[in-house]
């Protein structure tokens, strides 16, 4: 087993697989390129939800019950924010705040998001590369009956309520790959590309919209393995199933495969969805059945090993 792995990740589910890959690969063998389309400014703080989810999961600091943010979190700042009659639709944990404050401070001082992220990863003892997809601002927006809405407003503020008829990634085309993502794609020893079990439309598509990423994936000489975010035909968390339904799609792994098309060689799907395998294979995809539910670090590592095996690594 040798060579470098590039993982493309969104938030929670993707972050768990990224953490699993980090556990089973020797230090320095993994680059996790993270979606920044969900990033936003809130109360003057620059918040990067997916980078945070990846950092927290890789550092073992993530809250597994809640599914986002840090474990052992408290909410005293939020209590006081409400007492001050300020906006409280986005929850900011007390521990989590340190990340937002430090990041915002460094970004304002002119440091690129890549440097800020690398510094945080180092401080948290993470021995693999974690890089934003781009140092340029990309902002995912959804079209609802009320018009275009910033992602977090819809996702958190409106709890994914309004139907989404279109998605765009403001800032693309034009957003350049981060140096770390570009370097990983260019590595001579790259051995596989992994698309983590994140929302294809909202978490992976922004990554693919960054200048050059889709082309680089299409021109790949190594296997690209996607791990499906569906279990029993449903997304564990988040609005994926709703989005699929709103597009008139059945919501199965065939839709995921169709969405990625020629970008993906191999799909890792949940053992419970084995019935999808024959048609996926007919469509030209290799398929691996695995336990894709990750409740523990052990689950994460086990799925990571299955993914590496799927890449014949």
- Considering the complex, state which of residue 72 and residue 166 has its C-beta at the smaller distance from a second copy: 72
What DSSP string describes the chain?
--SEEEEEE-SHHHHHHHHHHHHHSPTTSEEEEE--TT-EEETTEEE-HHHHHHHHHHTT-B-TTTSSSBTT---HHHHHHHHTT---SS---HHHHHHHHHHHHHHHTT--HHHHHHHHHHHTT--SEEEES-SS--EEEEEETTEEEEHHIIIIISTT-S--SEEEEET-SSPBPPHHHHHHHH-TTEEEEEE-SS-IIIIIHHHHHSBTHHHHHHT-SS-EEEE-SEETTEESSSSHHHHHHHTT---SHHHHHHHHGGG-SEEEEEGGGGGGHHHHHHTT-EEEEE-----SHHHHHHHHHHHHHHTT-
Binds a second copy by CB under 8 A, chosen from 99, 134, 178, 300: 99
**85 lines the binding site for a second copy (CB under 8 A):** yes
**250 lines the binding site for a second copy (CB under 8 A):** no
Q: What are phi and psi of 210, to 5 degrees?
A: -65, 140
Binds a second copy by CB under 8 A, chosen from 3, 71, 78, 137: 78
User: Which range in 4-12, 76-84, 213-221, 225-233 contacts a second copy by CB under 8 A?
Assistant: 76-84
- The residue with tokens 């339904």 is 245
Least separation in angstroms between residue 102's CB and a second copy is 5
Least separation in angstroms between residue 117's CB and a second copy is 12
Binds a second copy by CB under 8 A, chosen from 3, 23, 71, 124: 124
Least separation in angstroms between residue 55's CB and a second copy is 10
**80 lines the binding site for a second copy (CB under 8 A):** yes
**102 lines the binding site for a second copy (CB under 8 A):** yes
User: Which range in 78-86, 154-162, 187-195, 199-207 contacts a second copy by CB under 8 A?
Assistant: 78-86
**188 lines the binding site for a second copy (CB under 8 A):** no
Least separation in angstroms between residue 126's CB and a second copy is 12
Q: What angle, rounded to 10 degrees, do the helices at 49-58 and 12-24 form?
A: 30
Least separation in angstroms between residue 74's CB and a second copy is 5
- Considering the complex, state which of residue 29 and residue 103 has its C-beta at the smaller distance from a second copy: 103
- Considering the complex, state which of residue 86 and residue 246 has its C-beta at the smaller distance from a second copy: 86
- Contact string (CB under 8 A) for a second copy, positions 42-61, x = contact: -xxx----------------
- Considering the complex, state which of residue 98 and residue 245 has its C-beta at the smaller distance from a second copy: 98
- The residue with tokens 């699929």 is 244
Which residues lie near a second copy (CB under 8 A)? Answer: 43-45, 70, 73-74, 76-81, 83-86, 94-99, 101-102, 104-105, 108, 119-120, 123-124
């Amino acid at each position: 087993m040798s060579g470098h792995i590039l993982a493309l990740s969104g938030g929670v589910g993707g972050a768990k697989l990224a953490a699993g890959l980090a556990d089973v690969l020797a230090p320095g063998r993994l680059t996790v390129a993270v979606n920044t389309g969900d990033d936003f400014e809130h109360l003057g703080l620059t918040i990067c939800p997916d980078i945070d989810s990846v950092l927290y999961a890789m550092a073992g600091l993530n809250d597994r019950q809640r599914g986002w943010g840090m474990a052992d979190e408290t909410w005293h700042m939020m209590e006081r924010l409400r007492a001050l009659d300020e906006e409280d639709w986005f929850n900011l944990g007390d521990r989590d705040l340190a990340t937002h404050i430090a990041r915002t401070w460094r970004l304002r001082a002119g440091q690129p998001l890549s440097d800020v992220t690398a510094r945080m990863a180092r401080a948290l003892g993470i021995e693999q590369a974690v890089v934003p997809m781009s140092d340029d601002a990309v902002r995912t927006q959804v079209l609802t009956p009320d018009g275009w809405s910033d992602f977090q407003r819809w996702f958190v503020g409106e709890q994914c309520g309004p139907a989404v008829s279109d998605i765009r990634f403001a800032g693309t085309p034009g957003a350049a790959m981060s140096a770390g993502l570009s370097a990983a794609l260019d590595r001579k020893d790259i051995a596989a590309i992994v698309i983590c079990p994140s929302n294809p439309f909202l978490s992976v598509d922004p990554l693919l919209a960054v200048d050059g990423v889709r082309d680089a994936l299409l021109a790949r000489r190594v296997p690209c393995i996607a791990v499906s975010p569906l279990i029993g035909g449903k997304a564990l968390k988040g609005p994926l199933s709703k989005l699929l339904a709103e597009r008139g799609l059945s919501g199965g792994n065939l839709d995921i495969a169709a969405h990625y098309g020629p970008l993906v060689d191999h799909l890792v799907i949940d053992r419970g969805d084995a019935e999808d395998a024959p048609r996926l294979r007919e469509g030209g995809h290799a398929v691996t059945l695995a336990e894709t539910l990750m409740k523990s670090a052990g689950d994460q590592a086990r799925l990571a090993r299955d993914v590496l095996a799927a890449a014949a690594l």
